[in-house]
């Protein structure tokens, strides 16, 4: 057994050395079933499409949300790095006609030895590449570069946050069997199964400290917008909503003492429309009114609109969103990210890193459907006065599409290098 392990380690080390030498000398492997390194010429095919759309002027602020990844290995090829693609990606964002771009930074909870991830025995720290061989936190040089690259193109830039309370390296293992999505959902449900008042107060103390440190850096380098909402594994506060509401307001007030940019907060679409998200009572929340930007994510339609054709369902949904925003006296930023497979607005996005799962394998690419969904959404917006921003998502950091890379990006809730990119460009530049 030990001999086999030594042989495997030798093979792995040899591969690492070979890739490092190829990177240093910018040499390329022959075409084959393996991924193409990003330094090899154009690397990925840049697609062009014949697009016809009846675009009209949009009064909303136009934004692009970059894919929520940072650092190396976002295509699971071990050689690509978002840092190498900031300039080229922001060029594309500018060409789209956007005035803002959003990127994602990463935080993680590091627990004491043997502590369960539902306890308060943790510290909030930087995410590291070795945790799951993928995402990592931005360093100060990254923040400086992102601000400079955006501002040099006349773009404003916002930074959102992805937070993990689980050692997400376990999901890479789950991916071997094609079970990433189900494993994440199970962990998320257990994590939020019953936070105590003690846990909530402890969390907000740590989160406020973490965000204050970030806000000072953002102020230093001119980041235009920062989010207070942790995504991916953000905590919920059922049973303690009034306490959480007060602590959210305290957090926003604290950040304003060190940061002069805009504060961004995300709201639950279920809480906004139905006043409840699971067991969480959203009638007790109004902290988001203290923020400058209030954003709602849409990947699909809620149940009550799924029986209608998308030509009716999407306008009805957005019209209701606009009406409720007016009743609450707020303006909404719309994060819109339809997937490119048939009827995705009725079933939602897929975890395309879970490329071994049957659900992803069997998904059929449908670029026309995604473009149609975007066109219906954009065509509805001019008459909706309480939607102040359209944030189209998600925009990957390069032109990769399967089979050039392992993740099945052709069915993902991304639009770069798909017909929807050119269609959005016509609307945004009208």
Domains and CATH numbers, the chain: 49-428 (3.20.20.80)
As a whole number, mean pLDDT of residues 106-123 equals: 88
Q: Bigger pLDDT: 225 or 350?
A: 225
Judged on CB neighbours under 10 Å (0-12, 13-18, 19+), 181 is buried
User: ∠411-417-421 over CA atoms, to 5°?
Assistant: 95
Predicted confidence at residue 22, as pLDDT, reads 59
As a whole number, mean pLDDT of residues 175-190 equals: 64
pTM of the model: 0.89
How many Cα neighbours within 13 Å face the side chain of 273?
19
As a whole number, mean pLDDT of residues 118-128 equals: 90
172 pLDDT higher than 80: no
Question: Rounded to an integer, what distance in angstroms lies between the CA atom of residue 121 and that of residue 203?
Answer: 10
Q: Bigger pLDDT: 185 or 58?
A: 58
As a whole number, mean pLDDT of residues 1-28 equals: 61
Banded pLDDT at 406 (limits 50, 70, 90)? confident
Kindly report which listed range (188-202, 347-361, 383-397) carries the lowest average pLDDT score.
347-361
Q: Bigger pLDDT: 118 or 381?
A: 381
54 pLDDT higher than 80: yes
2 pLDDT higher than 60: no
Q: Are strands 293-298 and 262-267 parallel, antiparallel or unpaired?
A: parallel
28 pLDDT higher than 60: no
Predicted confidence at residue 76, as pLDDT, reads 81
Query: φ, ψ for residue 387 (rounded to 5)?
Result: -105, 110
Banded pLDDT at 425 (limits 50, 70, 90)? very high
Query: φ, ψ for residue 282 (rounded to 5)?
Result: -85, -5
Predicted confidence at residue 25, as pLDDT, reads 47
Q: Bigger pLDDT: 10 or 267?
A: 267
Nearest to 410 by CA among 139, 57, 47, 59: 47
Predicted confidence at residue 177, as pLDDT, reads 47
112 pLDDT higher than 80: yes
Question: Rounded to an integer, what distance in angstroms lies between the CA atom of residue 311 and that of residue 71?
Answer: 38
- Give the percent of the chain with pLDDT over 90: 71
Nearest to 71 by CA among 81, 58, 80, 59: 81
Predicted confidence at residue 182, as pLDDT, reads 59
How high does pLDDT run on average in the chain?
A: 89
Structure tokens at 401: 């599409």
Question: Hey, which bits of 233-306 come out as E strands?
Answer: 262-267, 276-277, 280-281, 293-298
As a whole number, mean pLDDT of residues 301-325 equals: 96
Please enumerate in sequence order all residues whose Cβ is within 8 A of that of 45, keeping only pairs 6 or more positions apart, or say none: 399, 401, 404, 417
336 close to 375: Cβ distance less than 8 angstroms: no
Predicted confidence at residue 356, as pLDDT, reads 79
As a whole number, mean pLDDT of residues 348-364 equals: 86
Banded pLDDT at 36 (limits 50, 70, 90)? low
């Amino acid at each position: 057994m030990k001999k086999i392990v030594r042989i495997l380690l030798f093979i792995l080390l040899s591969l690492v050395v070979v890739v490092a030498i190829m990177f240093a000398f910018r040499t390329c492997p022959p075409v084959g079933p393996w991924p193409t390194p990003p330094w090899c010429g154009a690397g990925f095919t840049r697609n062009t499409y014949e697009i016809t759309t009846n675009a009209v002027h949009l009064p909303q602020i136009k934004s692009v949300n970059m894919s929520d990844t940072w650092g190396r290995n976002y295509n699971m090829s071990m050689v690509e790095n978002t840092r190498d693609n900031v300039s080229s990606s922001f060029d594309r964002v500018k060409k789209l006609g956007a005035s803002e771009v959003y990127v994602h930074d990463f935080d993680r909870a590091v627990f004491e030895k043997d502590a369960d991830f539902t306890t308060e025995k943790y510290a909030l720290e930087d995410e590291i590449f070795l945790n799951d061989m993928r995402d990592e936190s931005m360093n100060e040089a990254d923040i400086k570069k992102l601000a400079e690259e955006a501002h040099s193109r006349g773009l404003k830039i916002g930074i959102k946050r992805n937070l993990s309370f689980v050692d997400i390296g376990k999901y890479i293992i789950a991916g071997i069997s094609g079970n990433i999505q189900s494993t994440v959902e199970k962990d998320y449900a257990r994590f939020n199964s019953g936070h105590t008042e003690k846990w909530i107060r402890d969390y907000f103390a740590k989160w406020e400290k973490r965000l204050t440190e970030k806000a000072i850096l953002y102020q230093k380098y001119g980041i235009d917008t920062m989010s207070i909402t942790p995504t991916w594994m953000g905590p919920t506060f059922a049973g303690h909503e009034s306490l959480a509401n007060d602590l959210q307001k305290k957090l926003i007030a604290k950040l304003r003492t060190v940061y002069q940019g805009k504060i961004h907060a995300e709201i639950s679409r279920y809480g906004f429309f139905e006043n409840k998200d699971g067991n969480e009572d959203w009638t007790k929340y109004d902290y988001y009114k203290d923020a400058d930007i209030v954003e709602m994510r849409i990947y699909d339609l809620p149940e009550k609109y799924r029986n209608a054709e998308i030509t009716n369902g999407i306008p009805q949904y957005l019209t209701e969103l606009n009406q409720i925003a007016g009743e609450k006296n707020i303006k909404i930023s719309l994060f819109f990210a339809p997937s490119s497979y048939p009827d995705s607005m009725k079933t939602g996005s897929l975890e395309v890193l879970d490329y071994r799962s049957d659900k992803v394998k069997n998904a059929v690419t449908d670029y026309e459907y995604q473009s149609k969904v975007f066109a219906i959404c954009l065509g509805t917006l001019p008459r909706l006065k309480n939607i102040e921003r359209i944030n189209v998502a998600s925009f990957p950091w390069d032109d990769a599409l399967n089979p050039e890379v392992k993740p099945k990006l052709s069915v993902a809730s991304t639009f770069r290098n798909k017909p929807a990119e050119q269609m959005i460009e016509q609307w945004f530049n009208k």
